[in-house]
Amino acid sequence: MTADTASGVDGHQMLDFVGIGFGPSNLALAIAVMEHNAEPGVTRPVTAEFVECKPEFGWHTGMLIPGATMQISFLKDLVTQRNPQSEFTFLQYLTERGRLTEFINFKTFFPTRLEFHDYLVWAADKVTVPVRYGTRAVSVRDVDGAFEIELTGEHAGVLRGRNVVIAGGLTPHLPPDVSPSARQVHNHGFLHDLERLPSREHNRFVVVGAGQSAAEVAAYLHDMSEATEVHGVFAKYGYSPADDSPFANRVFDPDAVDDFYSAAPGVRRQLIDYHRSTNYSAVDLPLIEDLYAREYAERVAGRRRLFLRGASSILKADESDGGVRVHILHHPTGDIDELDCDAVIYATGFLPAPLTDILGELHGDLVLEAGMPVVSRDYRLTTSRDIAGGLYIQGNTEHSHGLTSSLLSNIAVRSAEILQSIDARRLDCVAGPAVGTQSLS
Ligand SMILES: Cc1cc2nc3c(=O)[nH]c(=O)nc-3n(C[C@H](O)[C@H](O)[C@H](O)COP(=O)(O)OP(=O)(O)OC[C@H]3O[C@@H](n4cnc5c(N)ncnc54)[C@H](O)[C@@H]3O)c2cc1C
């Protein structure tokens, strides 16, 4: 439901919480709210509203590369691990789309990202909690025992809430010496940026990075036409496989969050290091094998247009009207190759989105440890003084809650935990004691 059709939303209503960002994390939370409010015996429904700066729901649309598959099982959808009987399961989506039997025959746990995107859009369309699309939250203020969330854009104004749930996602990270332009782009907007490319004089692309996205982009460009040349550049000697084996996969289990949260900082770091290859700088093995087969076939045919340059990095990239001249350093030999290409795509990862952009001055009240916000087990940011209510955060808690934090794997269970915390503290307030604040004490 969009805010236009929401009833009783006038910017002055006191909501139980305001959700900032409407990607999968807060979408899962919105569904949890709907299902909670529909439970028999709920006398005081939880009131909430969400804001999303995009004009409509979209999940990393610049990377919806045809054929690219999910890296988690479809059973880790928005709800199943919290409520397998929900109307919002991936299986229910398939049923409504008339594809359940066909999907079963497909014998996969890993649908394409295009199909999962369609599932998420289907779910977002069914949600009845109001969402203000085209609207950005620019600050959160603590005023008279409540939060005021300032909004700009299509539904500009102020929302008031007892709590805030921030799920703003991650920010694309470029190497420090790169100035983004039409020809030097982060992979996050890849498909959109490719369409907007000013010209393609060279039919040659450079893709930087050794992770899943880099490999997907390289394969997509290589498929684009028989004339396109692709150079993958990365510091590793070769792509290495993502570890999705069953024991390692337990690091994403709901219970793993408890283990991680209770562990000492050294143990947390160790666990992340051991299992980094489940998520970072790693590629699904079938894609590695596919790229290898392509490169080998070109060697046999004697006509190369896919070059995977391991142990290498970009020394400099000089841009002109017609393209980018890239200087590629081969680390072992020190050799430098110069290539004229149409664009450089940097698949160089993401960083936590800065909370300052959303919290404004309130950010100064957060307690930090080693530069990272201190977060309680129920995903509340810890503040150095009593503030209006809970500032909850989804994603960006890898340092405290483990590797699953920025992924989809735990969003069904995490939404339930956040909602339960908001509800419990709300009911405590009704019962009497002043628990609408949170501080270190
Ligand atoms: C290409 C790609 C593929 C991926 N594939 C997988 C996968 O297969 N499995 C997996 O587990 N994870 C995957 N991930 C990880 C990804 O982080 C999660 O899938 C998921 O997007 C997390 O959801 P989220 O809602 O926390 O963040 P996001 O999806 O990033 O959503 C955050 C939303 O907040 C909005 N927003 C930000 N700031 C504001 C503001 N101030 N006001 C209003 N709105 C705001 C943004 O517009 C955005 O829509 C993938 C990531 C990428 C980039």
Which residue matches tokens 């709901």? 254
**pLDDT band per the 50, 70, 90 thresholds, residue 431:** low
Q: Please, what is the Cα angle at 192 between 188 and 196, to 5 degrees?
A: 130
Q: Does the pLDDT value for residue 8 go beyond 60?
A: no
Ligand 1 atom nearest to 138, measured from its CA: 41
d(CA 290, CA 296): 10
d(CA 137, CA 147): 12
pLDDT at 353: 87
Task: For residue 18, report the distance from its CA to the centre of ligand 1, in Å.
Answer: 18
- Cα dihedral 223, 225, 231, 232, rounded to 10, equals -20
Q: Using CA of residue 46, residue 51, residue 54, residue 60, what is the dihedral sign? A: negative
Q: Using CA of residue 112, residue 115, residue 119, residue 124, what is the dihedral sign? A: positive
Nearest alpha carbon, ligand 1 atom 18 = 407
CB of 185 closer than 8 Å to CB of 346: yes
Nearest alpha carbon, ligand 1 atom 34 = 21
Mean pLDDT value across the chain:
93
CB of 309 closer than 8 Å to CB of 233: yes
Which residue matches tokens 């795509």? 345
For the chain, helix (H) and strand (E) counts, in that order, are 13, 19
Of 407, 411, 415, best ligand 1 pocket probe by most atoms within 8 Å of the beta carbon: 407
Nearest alpha carbon, ligand 1 atom 13 = 407
Q: Does the pLDDT value for residue 320 go beyond 50?
A: yes
Q: Does the pLDDT value for residue 11 go beyond 90?
A: no
Candidates 347, 87, 74; CA nearest to 217 is: 347
CB of 209 closer than 8 Å to CB of 347: yes
Percentage of the chain modeled with pLDDT above 90: 91
pLDDT digits (tens, 9 = 90+) for 204-253: 999 999 999 999 999 999 999 999 999 999 999 999 999 999 999 999 99
Poorest-pLDDT segment among 322-326, 427-431, 433-437: 433-437
Of 406, 413, 418, best ligand 1 pocket probe by most atoms within 8 Å of the beta carbon: 406
Ligand 1 atom nearest to 135, measured from its CA: 43
pLDDT at 439: 32
Residues with Cβ within 6 A of ligand 1?
20-26, 51-54, 59-60, 63, 70-72, 136-137, 167-170, 213, 358, 394-395, 406-409
pLDDT at 21: 98
Q: What is the mean pLDDT of residues 409-437?
A: 78
Q: Please, what is the Cα angle at 75 between 290 and 56, to 5 degrees?
A: 85
Ligand 1 atom nearest to 252, measured from its CA: 11
pLDDT digits (tens, 9 = 90+) for 137-187: 999 999 988 999 999 999 999 999 999 999 999 999 999 999 999 999 999
pLDDT at 173: 97
DSSP state of 12: -
**pTM for the full predicted model:** 0.94
Task: For residue 395, report the distance from its CA to the centre of ligand 1, in Å.
Answer: 9
